[in-house]
Structure 1
Amino acid sequence: MTTINGRAAVLADYNEPFVTREFPVPTPEPGGIVVKIDVATVCGSDVHVWLGHLKDTTPITPPLILGHEMVGIVETLGDGAEFDSLGERIEVGDRIVWAHTPCGQCRECTIERQPQLCSKRYIAYLNDCSKPPYFTGSFAEYNYVVPRAGRLRVPDGVQSRWAAAGSCALRTVIKGAEVAGPIDFTDSIVIQGAGPLGLFATALLSTHNPRQLVVVGGPEDRLALAREWGATHTVSIADYPTATDRIERVQEITGGGADLAFEYAGAPGAVAEGIELVRRNGRYIVMGTLGGAPQSVDVAKIAHRGIRITGSMSGEIGNYRTALEFLDRFSERFDWDRMFGASYGLDDLAEAMDAMVSMREIKPVIVPGIRSSEPQQSATASTSAH
């Protein structure tokens, strides 16, 4: 049997240039699927891993193939992999998204039914790519969907780059809104951060028609998009450069503080500031701070004001499905293409990463088939429905 090889952008060491390498494409075991990557998008988590921000808190050992926001076109189905997590048939040529793989045997998985909190969860792109099945991350021509991973067909009306971003950023936002509890038209809501999470959250929460929806962040082009997608007010970190300034402005807008706030910023001091943005008995959902140095928080204010703080991270396969449905149903209300920047090939991954770090682009797009060293405009990304 002839061995087929595929290319991948490999991180050999932290904060180093990516190296394009070839690996043999695996034969799927029962329940497994080999896909050809149609489109991948860059997530902030990919940047953090690349720069070594998580190496002291997460057991990660290069070499790595980063990338976990993707849509794959089914190439080969292992025995028993003919159906997705909803029982819909999967065939060669279909587009799918897939999830990290919880162990299914711990308290979080089985009793609490919160598999995204499983401490033994298999997160493919954080594993050594020098060992089979090699194609662990989505910044590659191929990817391997392990047998127990949740997987879903992408609806025909959802473009591939939308679904790729939805498979991480939007499903994380969906989960955060779920853990926040009831949200209705009487609520004042504050969103910290105007990156992919904050913008997707703006769109999602605007459909609840809250009394006020305030986005705190920058730069201005992202705040303009937030207003287009439903923010009633925006607070620019350029116009209000200190935490005190922003807190006073939000309290002025909301009449004393938000009923509910979401932290998507991940910036130093964001949580301490966020506690000041909510009213007494308010709710605060922390989602954006997944690493970095410890932050100083005035704990007494939490107790005295009865603030309810909940952490939320990632999501499970049901949240993926809701994300896909949201993208499909609201594609006329929200111009999802506004989220995406240029399309880059594997050889230009570092440039795509830099575009995200520098905030030149909200979501750079990786299309493995691009071989040119020049990034292409996002309209040329692979977005067809297969």
Structure 2
Amino acid sequence: MRTEARAAVLREYGAPFTVESFPRPEPEPGALVVDIDAATVCGSDVHVWLGHMAGRLPISPPLILGHEMAGTVTAVGAGAEVDSLGRPVRVGDRVVWAHTPCGHCYQCTVEREPTQCAARYIGYLNDCSKPPHFTGTFAEVGYVIPRAGRLVVPEKVKSSWAAAGSCALRTVVRALAVAGSITPQDRVVVQGAGPLGLFATALLSLRSPRQLVVVGGPADRLVLAKDWGATDVVSIEDFPEAAGRVEAVRELTGGGPSVAFELAGAPGAIAEGVDMTGPNGRYVVMGTLGGERQSVDAARIVHKGLTIRGSMSGDIGDYHVALDTLERFSDRFDWDLMLGREYGLHELDTAMNAMRGMAEIKPVLVPGLS
């Protein structure tokens, strides 16, 4: 086995990535070392690359981005012989792994909300110049720190599916749990037709709501939304102004949905969602992670009696549900339709721009490609 491995390194916000080599790590007790099979690009990676998170989070280059991944175990540290469900972990197994809460703060211990842990370790936001170096997953190697939740990937789940599922789908799993019960009587709206919105459409369709409306674009993504269970779509190309989209949704749903999900992250999306959600509706916000402050008509929240909840990321249990969903429903949903083309490490700039420009839903980085 080689003593070094390569990674795509962000040295300056907005600048091209550089492919660099670092010493291949040895696992400390509780840790795993993996070879990355596939890592998909997330919108959060794009935001960090462009510097949108600078000042909001205590991060600075050099960074190895990437946090949606599946990899093959090459070394197992002492005490790391089982995954988070107690299943054996051996060299040659494929795994995904989670961000790591501290485990001893109020949010972790009392509220049981590890996604709100202020000290949570998020690998790709850490300085990669320090050992073990492989903090993110746009690299040939990934390092699973001792406390990190980890799961063996089911045999029937492709590594590229598992990579996308390890962030976008598990985030949607958590958002649906936050939303509460969704019944065949509900009319549901999904704002956004990106990875979050499309995964949400698939999962929501399994709950058989009376109506499932997806608001977004481009047109090919709305076609996929219909294939995955949307009863209606509202195109942002046909309705470029928020007022037109709100009116279209109200007309389709007979006054507004009973449940809505903000999965777009676009400027003004939350104000638009508040306007379109029906009386006594529930509105789950999870797509907006940065950007400028948004103005919301607070009186509408009061007058309509809305319940608004934020939802952030997901925990290792959400990862398990995501992997189980990918495996159980692969006959119903063609998960490959979510994925773009495969890129090597030296093509990461192109992959990131494909994500940024909405040319692809989920570009796939395969570090082994030349």
Q: In 1, distance between residues paired with 2:2 and 2:35?
A: 16
Distance (whole Å) between structure 2 residues aligned to residue 184 and residue 17 of structure 1: 47
Cα distance in 1 for residues equivalent to 2:4 and 2:47: 29
Q: Distance in 2 between matches of 1:226 and 1:277?
A: 20
Following superposition of structure 1 onto structure 2, how do residues 95-110 of structure 1 map, counting pairs within 5 Å?
A: 95-110=94-109
- The answer as to 2:344 corresponding to 1:355 is no
Instruction: Give me the whole-angstrom Cα distance separating, in 2, the residues matched to 1:48 and 1:266.
Output: 11
Q: Give the 3-state SS of the residue equivalent to 2:167 in structure 1.
A: helix
Give, in whole Å, the separation in 1 of the partners of 2:353 and 2:154: 31
CA contact (8 A) 1:3 1:24 kept: no
Q: CA shift at 1:241, angstroms?
A: 1.0
Within 2, Cα distance between the matches of 1:265 and 1:92?
A: 39
Of stretches 298-307 and 97-106 in structure 1, the one that deviates more from structure 2 is 298-307
Q: How far has the Cα of 1:307 moved from its partner? A: 0.5
Q: What are the Cα deviations for residues 309-368 of structure 1, in whole angstroms up to 9, with x where unaligned?
A: 000010000000000000000000000000011100000000000111111100000000
Q: Which amino acid aligns with 1:214?
A: V
The alignment's TM-score, normalised by the length of structure 1, stands at 0.95
2:72 is equivalent to residue 66 of structure 1: no
In the TM superposition, residue 298 of structure 1 has moved relative to its aligned partner by: 0.8
Q: Tell me the equivalent position of 2:246.
A: 247
Determine the C-alpha separation between the residues in 2 that align with 1:300 and 1:255: 21
Matched, 1:39 2:72: no
Matched, 1:206 2:205: yes
> Match of 1:278?
277
- SS, match of residue 280 in structure 1: coil
Instruction: Report how far residue 3 of structure 1 moved.
Output: 7.2
SS at match of 2:280: strand
> Aligned partner of 2:161: which letter?
W
3-state SS, counterpart of residue 256 of structure 1: coil
Which whole-Å CA distance do the structure 2 matches of 1:51 and 1:61 have between them?
Answer: 12
Compute the displacement of 1:222 (Å): 0.1
Counterpart-to-counterpart distance in 2, 1:14 and 1:319: 31
Question: Aligned with 1:281: secondary structure?
Answer: coil
Distance 2:319 2:328 in 1: 14
Q: What is the rounded CA distance, in whole Å, between the counterparts of 1:275 and 1:92 in structure 2?
A: 49
Of the structure 1 ranges 105-114 and 152-161, higher mean CA displacement relative to structure 2 is found in 105-114
More divergent stretch after superposition (166-175 vs 3-12): 3-12
| 1:273 aligned partner, one-letter code | E
The whole-number CA distance in structure 1 between the counterparts of 2:348 and 2:367 is 10
One-letter code of the match for 1:68?
H
Residue-pair matches, total: 370
Aligned counterpart, 2:17 = 18
- Distance apart, 1:108 and its partner CA: 1.1
Q: Deviations over 1:204-227 (max 9, x none)?
A: 000000000000000000000000
**Residue type at the aligned position of 1:8:** A
User: 2:105 & 2:257 partners in 1: Cα distance?
Assistant: 36
AA matched with 1:186:
Q
Q: Offset at 1:304?
A: 1.4
Q: Mapping of 1:1-386 within 5 angstroms?
A: 4-371=3-370
Q: Deviation at 1:242?
A: 0.7
Give CA-to-partner distance per residue, 1:171-223, whole Å, 9 cap, x none.
00000000001111100000000000000000000000000000000000000
The SS at the match of 1:224 is helix
Distance 1:245 1:284, change over 3 A: same
Instruction: Give unpaired runs (5+ residues) of structure 2.
Output: none
Cα-to-partner distance string for 1:110-152 (whole Å, 9 max, x where unaligned): 1111101111100010000000010001000001000000000
Identity %: 65
Q: How far, CA to CA, are the matches of 2:276 and 2:322 in structure 1?
A: 28
1:117 counterpart letter in structure 2 = Q
1:56 and 1:202 map into 2 onto residues whose CA distance is: 33
Aligned position for 1:374: none
Q: What is the alpha-carbon distance in structure 2 between the residues aligned to residue 160 and residue 72 of structure 1?
A: 7
CA RMSD of aligned residues (A): 0.8
Secondary structure of 1:36's counterpart equals: strand
Once residues 107 and 297 of structure 1 are traced to their aligned partners in structure 2, the CA distance between those partners, rounded to angstroms, is: 31
How far does residue 303 in structure 1 lie from its aligned partner after superposition?
Answer: 1.1
Quick one: distance in 2 between partners of 1:343 and 1:3?
24
CA distance in 1 between counterparts of 2:312 and 2:118 reads 12
Give runs of ≥4 in structure 1 deviating > 2 Å: none
Report the Cα distance in structure 2 between the residues aligned to 1:150 and 1:85, rounded to whole angstroms: 6
